[in-house]
Amino acid sequence: MAPKHPSDTARPLMALLYDKTVRSIIYQVLVFGGVFFLGWYLVSNVQTNLDEQNIATGFGFLDREAAFGISESVISYSPQDNYGRALAVGILNTIKVSLTGIILATIIGTLIGIGLVSKNWLVRFIGKSYIDLFRNVPLLLQLFFWYALITNGLPGVRQALNPLPGTFLTNRGLYIPIPADNPAWFWVFIAFVVGIIGSFVLRRWSFKRLEATGQVFPHLSVGLGIIVGLPILTWLLFGAPVEMNVPALQGFNFKGGLNMSPEFFTLLLGLTVYTATYIAEVVRSGIQSVPKGQSEASTSLGLKPSWTMRLIILPQALRVIIPPLTNQYLNLTKNSSLAVAIGYPELVSISNTTMNQTGQAVEGVAIFMTVYLGISLLISVFMNWYNKRMALVER
């Protein structure tokens, strides 16, 4: 191996250097030393800087009064509340726009993904053009564009568009009527939740029965019936209240009803349109990953087409689709941070304001990085769990 060395004493040392374990230890010590030193150097600099310029540190500010207003919030918030609550509002707003965006992007993306494998050339062409167009333009630019279009293109409050009775479209957002306050709606919601739980239980039971007796129970349609029927029944029981809370022009703005602000709408639109292009590709590759033979075999076994889809195609396609899909969900959530550019008060934008009012940049950045890391970890833990569950069981 090593060439003969004139000096005998140097030999063991050289050999040692060529030894794999020793070398690996040396490398690691070097890397460790480097990283450790860098970390120590940076942290000590921060300390000196903060001390020297007399900049405040610590998370004590979270308890102090925030004193700034936030335009929209899931929980109640007023400027008297503390910074901690303001940040919580930001986190909830992030979750709100991300969840809505995920649902919409999945629906649109799936439709386009199916269009991409259509037999119709025009449908495929439209699908591909959509993807090319919205994928190759930066999301931030799209957001600015939609925002400018909404605030400049739509009329002011006094000249609001009125596309449907009770619904108003202005450059202050979309106002739609919602059912007026009534205890009935609370119970309808409860009935809805009970319906979902009930249909899950039903599904369990029907699978057990299938395995035990071989009899098929139409659990899907019955389950759906429960989910829809139970709330309707509850609503009827409460005397079928139909009173609506209709938005009306009062002072400067519309009051009442449900308001979707231009900032929220822009962000939702941008995230949905952009992420849908990626989801469409994911769905397409999922569909194409299932060999044709599978559906042919299933048909020749005499399975109904709906069963073929549900029992043969979907489970296999989903196995390919789910991992990249989760990645897209994660990307959408992270991209929602671009809201800072158009003024939707999500986590990054509120942290930003907090940083500026308190001057504590280190803490502010630390908070929102931790929250995003937390969300990412949570989703990847879920993914691993799901992958294990979905993995092919080989017998």
The correct pick among 74, 218, 356, 385 for binding another protein (CB under 8 A) is: 356
Which residues lie below 8 Å from residue 297, measured CB to CB, with a gap of 6+? 312
Nearer to another protein, 88 or 139 (CB): 139
Write out the binding residues for another protein, residues 327-346 only, by CB under 8 A: 334-335, 337-338, 340-343, 345
Nearer to another protein, 148 or 210 (CB): 148
State the Cα–Cα distance between residues 159 and 172, nearest whole angstrom.
11
105 φ, ψ (degrees, to nearest 5) = -65, -35
Nearer to another protein, 224 or 253 (CB): 253
Do 273 and 146 contact (CB within 8 A), yes or no?
Answer: no
Helix (H, G, I), strand (E, B) or coil at 178: strand
Tell whether residue 114 is a contact of another protein (CB under 8 A): no
Nearer to another protein, 18 or 205 (CB): 18
Write out the binding residues for another protein, residues 252-271 only, by CB under 8 A: 252-253, 255, 262-263
For residue 368, give the nearest of 387, 388, 353 by alpha carbon. Answer: 353
CB of 215 vs another protein, minimal distance in Å: 36
Do 130 and 113 contact (CB within 8 A), yes or no?
Answer: no
Tell whether residue 220 is a contact of another protein (CB under 8 A): no
Nearer to another protein, 220 or 314 (CB): 314
State the Cα–Cα distance between residues 167 and 159, nearest whole angstrom.
13
- 175 has which bridge partners? 168, 259
- Residues 33-52, one symbol each (x = binds another protein by CB under 8 A, - = not), give xxx-xx--xx--xx-xxx-x
Nearer to another protein, 166 or 343 (CB): 343
- The piece of 23-31, 98-106, 210-218, 228-236 that touches another protein (CB under 8 A) is 23-31
In this structure, what DSSP letter does residue 181 have?
A: P
Do 175 and 247 contact (CB within 8 A), yes or no?
Answer: yes
Nearer to another protein, 179 or 256 (CB): 256
Tell whether residue 16 is a contact of another protein (CB under 8 A): no
Write out the binding residues for another protein, residues 130-149 only, by CB under 8 A: 132-133, 135-141, 144-145, 148-149
Tell whether residue 352 is a contact of another protein (CB under 8 A): yes
Whether the CA torsion 262, 268, 272, 275 is positive or negative: it is positive
366 φ, ψ (degrees, to nearest 5) = -60, -40
- Residues 177-216, one symbol each (x = binds another protein by CB under 8 A, - = not), give ----------------------------------------
* Residue 348 CB burial class (10 angstroms; 0-12, 13-18, ≥19): buried
Residue owning tokens 């090319």: 132
What are the distances in angstroms from CA 66 to CA 81, 167, 356? 6, 35, 11
Do 166 and 216 contact (CB within 8 A), yes or no?
Answer: no
The correct pick among 122, 212, 240, 393 for binding another protein (CB under 8 A) is: 122
Nearer to another protein, 78 or 162 (CB): 78
State the Cα–Cα distance between residues 300 and 292, nearest whole angstrom.
13
Return the H-helix or E-strand segment holding 204. helix 183-213
Nearer to another protein, 180 or 361 (CB): 361
Tell whether residue 69 is a contact of another protein (CB under 8 A): yes
The correct pick among 111, 124, 179, 217 for binding another protein (CB under 8 A) is: 124
- Residues 232-251, one symbol each (x = binds another protein by CB under 8 A, - = not), give ------------------xx
Rg, C-alpha atoms of the chain: 29
Write out the binding residues for another protein, residues 289-328 only, by CB under 8 A: none
- As given in the structure block, the two tokens for residue 147 are 């925002």
